[in-house]
Amino acid sequence: MKTSRAIRRRPALLAPCVALLLAGATLAPGSTALALADPSPGPATAPATAASAKDSAPTPSTSALKPIDPAAFQASVARVAKQLMVPGAMVLLRTPQGTYRAAVGTVERVKAEPPDARDHFRIASNTKTMTAALIMLLAQDGELRLSDPVSKYVADVPNGANITVADLLKMRSGLYNYTDAPELAAALDADPGKAYTPREVLDIAFRRPPNFAPDTDYEYSNTNYALLGLVAEKAAGRPLARQFRERLFTPLGLAGTSLPDIHDRSLAEPYAHGYMYGGTAYALVDKPYPDALREAAEAGTLAPVDHTHQNPSYATAAGGAISTAEDLADWIKALVTGKVLAPATQRQWLESPQAEDPAAPEGQKYGYGIAHQKFGPNAAMFFHGGELPGFNSFIGHDPVNDVTLVVWTNLTLSPDGRTTAQAMLPTLLDQIYTGLDLPTA
């Protein structure tokens, strides 16, 4: 049976990141570019721009950060985007030096319209950071306790009397991941517009036995967060989308962020189209592309499928939100720096990450809807990632060095099967930090 520690590219709605440094993405010695094949002409590029002085924080003296050269930053994004064959990508970086934006390619394959940090896109599992924050707020208010069994809020959950809210938050329930079920991917391909309720997708999971006893192991499972959405609704007596809006989006001024109704497949203008080679299963499960598909994609004889308006209702609290790079940068920094939770609750949230693999205690950790990893002597990030058909993304904030990084691409997987936004990370981090312990070829 597949376990979380055997997974190198986790199931969709993703994964916090498949290890921030991406074991499969290596750097050539002495190079800042990913050591990949260069199979095709790259997309058109737009220059990276530094923000005006009024947008920039004071520059502290620190040896952890490199000076950012906008042209070099843009060139590095363009180079790796070309190698990954993404139609379009947007990188938003905020450091004490200023704000930098690098856009490559186009938001829609039939047009030449470069991406923008205000474009809307489906953020997939980055939604989990919001769901977890809402649960923490409800605990802070006394509406629930993290030690409560999930059976207090949702009926008929396997082992529900022994699975706590905290187990769900930390991916330690043992419940089967409903997005692994082959019938879900088949149904989405057969009817991309079908609306799913949280209970319908949970029933897919509950028909299978749990993979392990509660709190005995870690396994990334979207079932945990679909359940947490129902827990939040039961505890507060209000719909999840309304709670997101009233408690998170409006107070923080995230005007471009929303959790759509289950029947709403639209994205607000402006938005990026999202693409993927092949059917939904390649995003939902750890399933490699067949050689013939990969070769056709690399040769340019196979076009990616436009998944932009596939109904994301199956993702719900696990990955259904829409946002922009600008909003996500504001969101992840606010969350990490204590602008969302009260101080005591914030400390509990910051201390929640636990090693995914007990045999690697210094490796990637996952906590209450957030991952954490050190990747150098003076660098570490709280982060998450998102993946669903059409889009791949990353959000992270380093509170020590005041670095915020948001990446999105409108191609879920490169032809060679890598999650595209995350495959950019070694190159981007090498542009930002000194002394990184990045993997080498």
Residue 438: per-residue pLDDT:
62
Residue 362: per-residue pLDDT:
87
pLDDT band at 26 (very low <50, low <70, confident <90, very high): very low
What's the mean pLDDT when you consider all of the chain?
87
Question: Percent of the chain having pLDDT more than 90?
Answer: 81
Distance from C-alpha of 92 to C-alpha of 421, rounded to nearest angstrom: 12
Global pTM reads 0.89
Question: Half-sphere exposure of 120 toward its Cβ, with a 13 Å CA cutoff?
Answer: 19
Q: Are 440 and 22 in contact (CB under 8 A)?
A: no
Q: Provide the edge-to-edge strand list for the sheet that holds 98-105.
A: 45-50, 98-105, 88-95, 403-409, 391-398, 379-388, 371-376, 365-366, 354-355
Residue 51: per-residue pLDDT:
40
Cα–chain-centroid distance for residue 4? 17
Mean pLDDT of 22-33: 28
Residue 38: per-residue pLDDT:
25
Q: Check pLDDT > 70 for residue 212.
A: yes
Per-position DSSP letters for 3-16, written without gaps between them: -GGG-SS--TTT-S
pLDDT band at 192 (very low <50, low <70, confident <90, very high): very high
Residue 335: per-residue pLDDT:
98
Residue 439: per-residue pLDDT:
53
Q: How many residues would you count in the chain? A: 441
Name the nearest CA neighbour of 393 among 297, 439, 325, 440. 325
Residue 37: per-residue pLDDT:
24
Number of H helices, E strands in the chain: 14, 13
Residue 312: per-residue pLDDT:
97
pLDDT, greater one: 377 or 87: 87
Q: Check pLDDT > 70 for residue 11.
A: no
Mean pLDDT of 321-339: 98
Residue 139: per-residue pLDDT:
98
Q: Are 173 and 224 in contact (CB under 8 A)?
A: yes
Q: Check pLDDT > 70 for residue 217.
A: yes
pLDDT band at 326 (very low <50, low <70, confident <90, very high): very high
pLDDT tens digits, one per residue of 96-140: 999 999 999 999 999 999 999 999 999 999 999 999 999 999 999
Q: Check pLDDT > 90 for residue 28.
A: no
- Cα of first residue to Cα of last residue in the chain, in angstroms, is 30
Distance from C-alpha of 397 to C-alpha of 379, rounded to nearest angstrom: 10
Name the nearest CA neighbour of 346 among 354, 335, 356, 331. 335
Residue 40: per-residue pLDDT:
30
pLDDT band at 378 (very low <50, low <70, confident <90, very high): confident
Mean pLDDT of 348-367: 95
pLDDT tens digits, one per residue of 30-67: 222 222 222 233 333 344 444 433 333 334 445 899 99
DSSP state of 302: S
Per-position DSSP letters for 22-54, written without gaps between them: -TT--BPTT-SSB-----SPPPPEEEEEEPPGG
Max intra-chain CA distance, the chain: 57
Residue 50: per-residue pLDDT:
42
pLDDT band at 436 (very low <50, low <70, confident <90, very high): confident
DSSP state of 70: H
Contacts 24+ apart (CB under 8 A), 371-376: 371/16, 371/17, 371/20, 373/17, 373/19, 373/20, 373/21, 375/20, 375/21, 375/429, 375/433, 375/436, 375/437, 375/438, 376/64, 376/433, 376/434, 376/435, 376/436, 376/437
Residue 186: per-residue pLDDT:
96
pLDDT tens digits, one per residue of 78-96: 999 999 999 999 999 999 9
Distance from C-alpha of 413 to C-alpha of 283, rounded to nearest angstrom: 8
Q: Are 143 and 236 in contact (CB under 8 A)?
A: yes
Indicate the domain borders of the chain: 4-432
Is the domain defined by 4-432 classed in CATH 3.40.710.10? yes
Q: Are 49 and 100 in contact (CB under 8 A)?
A: yes
